[in-house]
Structure 1
């Protein structure tokens, strides 16, 4: 474990570096040159500087003050991981980075930022706010953290893998042809593809440059004739991958991407302002290119899964569900002994998943929490933080796997012993919301924001709520968090609540409840948006197919709170779990446990 004194030393070294670069402050986001949520080890500058291990946050500092900015998901976690004597804790969106800098920076000072780590929208807004106080926002030639991070890892050199057409459902040439047709309609010469998962999807390639997300560090430019330039370390590309890419795709060093943008004089280029960093816009503008903002054309196409991808997801979830059942049975046997801890449980679940020899990676760091840690929605267990799962306490495990045929994400909540009446009440209300969303029928064009209250209504009736979205998009052997769709209130961090749900999209259904310092509850399955046929219907309607199958804890349910419809849904769901998962289990004890865990109520 890195001692807190180390972070004192690091921020002192950074301030000394800022003085050398004639800067009076700096902004450190948690992202990379592709605006990624999860980043490679070389780009984990925020974690190195502060100790924060969450997946969303920013730090800012002047020569005198420092702050870390996180939203409500990390209120507890940031205080456990980041030294409050060095950083003030600022809550987003109530306090924005530029607002804090406007108060702390003195007129005439220079605040640095890395143009490869921020969107143009952020830069423009921050520039205007700081300029009003006489503070200059300055792009740096070299990130000052890289100047003091002595053992900073190099970007990954892992080889690229071919994602076969039989798993992708469509060839890269077909996908590029669709983009070329769009470019011609728009009268554009090309489009910059900067998001790592978009590049992976477009070229039907996968990598291992980012933990838990099978992508390769790369940029791409697609031209109006369907040809493309892929900017990636050529050493990562085997002869097999080159053959797969074909003659219409040229492979160029990732380090040449900036120079390529500088050579776009007179070209009409489409660029996504949400996924392309400010430096891309700056280089194109300086080159004399005509830049038009437009959504990355791979974003929506990637989110709407084809039949091959949907069937692959179903298959992956059956395989994964068998591993979950084996883990739940093991937990039921081991937890009552009083020695099981969070880290051991997480390691056991991963080892069971790996027994199939088909797991490529976890889809994210397993959230394995009991007691107060279960009340932290994005808790990450470490050897130092791991708690023993005590008697009569709740244990929450949110986990997932990356398989060649699909990406999984599932949360189950269990009790080691006897739950309190409050635990059962809250669990049942979460279950009722989960069922309400799973069985929702809605007109084509409905957004995730319109559906979010379906899952919260029963908690609201008890005067409680949860501080995260209800559902996120999920990729096909890609990111476990994938846009553009989302089920959440419109005012929550991140975009997507206003995106219409479309047939073929995969989302999570994961309402929860968290009592700070005591316990947390979440029930999560993945669902596929599908068409609904209703007698006499006027217009097109959609609903959800649940593709995750694992028992929901019966001993945490207050049956008196369930309606007949909800009881029937649960019994039908558990019957499907027995039907689909039972044949995947080779051990008689596992099958017997599953029968009891999915008994009708």
Structure 2
């Protein structure tokens, strides 16, 4: 099927005079996870991961993705005629190198300018232009062969109350305008959906697991325009926006409106798409991170307290699931998918639940070696009372967004599996216990997590942690943990008080097993003295870590104390919400070791 689509597509390319065509993983807003309408790369390649870029040339095709997806992509691309390009590997050519090999001098590169960020689009234009290669960016060629393409979403939007956000949209707009003034900017274009949702306290259901509305925003000193499908807004939302001076405009009108914006324009070239950028005068543009990016990453106390409450609800749901799994593995048929479904049902029972925060990863044995494995009817493994099940999951609640991973023993484990599990646990604890001076970035602290795993001459091909939004995207910039700076990941900022970041080291052995343990951390201020302002992390995830998988002899006294203190907190926090049978089970699974 993929090969047939590529044949049709290449015929269209020849008709248009295009020598290579890029299909990124993106919508019109550079969103990490995209709705069904925008899954063009999946449609053309068969690869379903959340990150990757497909390039189709007249005689060849290749797909670039990162280490999280090497195993999955290799399997899904097999037989398609598309070559897997492993990003970060020494022998992997860059996309530009590949394009220069595929496009003749004075040839043409095509892409849909609405799904290409302007920074990358301009880089391609400049670099390839030196070889006479031109850009054809005003047509969506995939759309021309995708006959049953899903339409744009049309679900209703809602406003998130200030009881959850801690700050009114009018106050946030005032803060943005102050920064615009400080930077000498007359207008600010925002296209990233999380920034718009946070700024206007607006949420929706346009992307699965990600409560946002497809929208653009144009802000000046005395006006604010929101470009979206107005049918998603009820009368109350319209009234509140009118009171703030926010004008509702047609979704696609942004492309014409930006042509008449005068003065200096602030925008983030990593999120504003190439089609919008092409309608502006480059001399007008101040290309920088949206100020809302850091504003929303630093949660206020209302957001933090609500998020802590959300984690208690999530912990109750996960504990009920873990109890069910552990007590039934010997007595009933359980599959990867049925386990995932049961956990989702436990979450849906919690008050204030909105949706999952991403599609649950329920991965048994060797499937867990694929970091972002997704079970389907073909791969769905039946669980047995042996080996381990990795479950990475989370929920969206009115109070906040959660992300938790637990790897659980379903039966006796080998010494190797226990050693690997204990190393991952030690790694997670080491980072959670960190004390550091203000000014540190995630790249300064990542070694704390990797150390026990590197001691085994093992590594994991991803970061150790990412920021988490507030009733927003589960992966939020600009905070994170990784051992080296990766510019396109945008997660190497100074760790500020109030940021929420995951702590999730792991070990992944292809064909055998995968282990990950993940908690969320709030960055807090500690003691200030003559050496500076010390910082620490508050762990807010509340769920048991499987004692059946631990070799306690490999933990030192400090690590045991941390685990015992954590488990006491888990029991004391969750027990009041559980019935007697689950309470008794939880007491056993949070016992001191």
Which bin holds the TM-score, normalised by the shorter protein?
over 0.9
2:11 matches 1:11: no
Deviations 1:148-207 (A, max 9, x none): 111111111111101111111000000000111111112211111110010000000101
Structure 2 CA distance for aligned equivalents of residues 467 and 431 of structure 1: 18
1:30-429 → structure 2 map (5 Å cutoff): 30-93=25-88, 94-134=92-132, 136-225=133-222, 227-247=223-243, 248-264=245-261, 266-285=262-281, 290-337=284-331, 339-429=333-423
In the alignment, what sits opposite 2:458? 464
Q: Is the 8 A contact 2:502 2:519 kept in 1?
A: yes
The alignment partner of 2:532 has SS state of coil
Structure 2 CA distance for aligned equivalents of residues 359 and 221 of structure 1: 32
Deviations 1:523-546 (A, max 9, x none): 001111111126x55311111111
Structure 2 CA distance for aligned equivalents of residues 478 and 246 of structure 1: 24
Q: 1:137 to 1:388 in 2, by over 3 A?
A: farther
2:554 matches 1:561: yes
Q: 1:493 to 1:560 in 2, by over 3 A?
A: farther
Q: Is the 8 A contact 1:375 1:514 kept in 2?
A: yes
TM-score between both structures, scaled by the size of structure 1: 0.95
Structure 1 CA distance for aligned equivalents of residues 30 and 38 of structure 2: 11
Structure 2 CA distance for aligned equivalents of residues 133 and 423 of structure 1: 53
Structure 2 CA distance for aligned equivalents of residues 495 and 45 of structure 1: 22
1:501 to 495, 499, 503: 495
Q: Which moved more, 1:378-387 or 1:487-496?
A: 487-496
Structure 2 CA distance for aligned equivalents of residues 30 and 208 of structure 1: 19
Structure 1 CA distance for aligned equivalents of residues 418 and 486 of structure 2: 28
Report deviation, 1:492.
4.3
Report deviation, 1:41.
1.1
2:45 matches 1:21: no
Q: Is the 8 A contact 2:477 2:491 kept in 1?
A: no
> Gaps spanning 5+ residues in structure 2: where?
none
Q: Is the 8 A contact 1:188 1:224 kept in 2?
A: no
Q: Which moved more, 1:362-371 or 1:483-492?
A: 483-492
Deviations 1:556-588 (A, max 9, x none): 111111111110110000000001011111x22
Structure 1 CA distance for aligned equivalents of residues 107 and 265 of structure 2: 35
In the alignment, what sits opposite 1:479? 473
Structure 2 CA distance for aligned equivalents of residues 137 and 77 of structure 1: 34
Q: Is the 8 A contact 2:443 2:485 kept in 1?
A: no
Q: Is the 8 A contact 2:68 2:372 kept in 1?
A: yes
Q: Is the 8 A contact 2:197 2:213 kept in 1?
A: yes
Aligned residues: 589
Q: Is the 8 A contact 1:99 1:129 kept in 2?
A: no
TM-score between both structures, scaled by the size of structure 2: 0.97
2:539 to 546, 550, 555: 546
Q: Is the 8 A contact 1:267 1:289 kept in 2?
A: no
Deviations 1:420-440 (A, max 9, x none): 101111111111111111110
In the alignment, what sits opposite 2:583? 591
> Gaps spanning 5+ residues in structure 1: where?
1-5
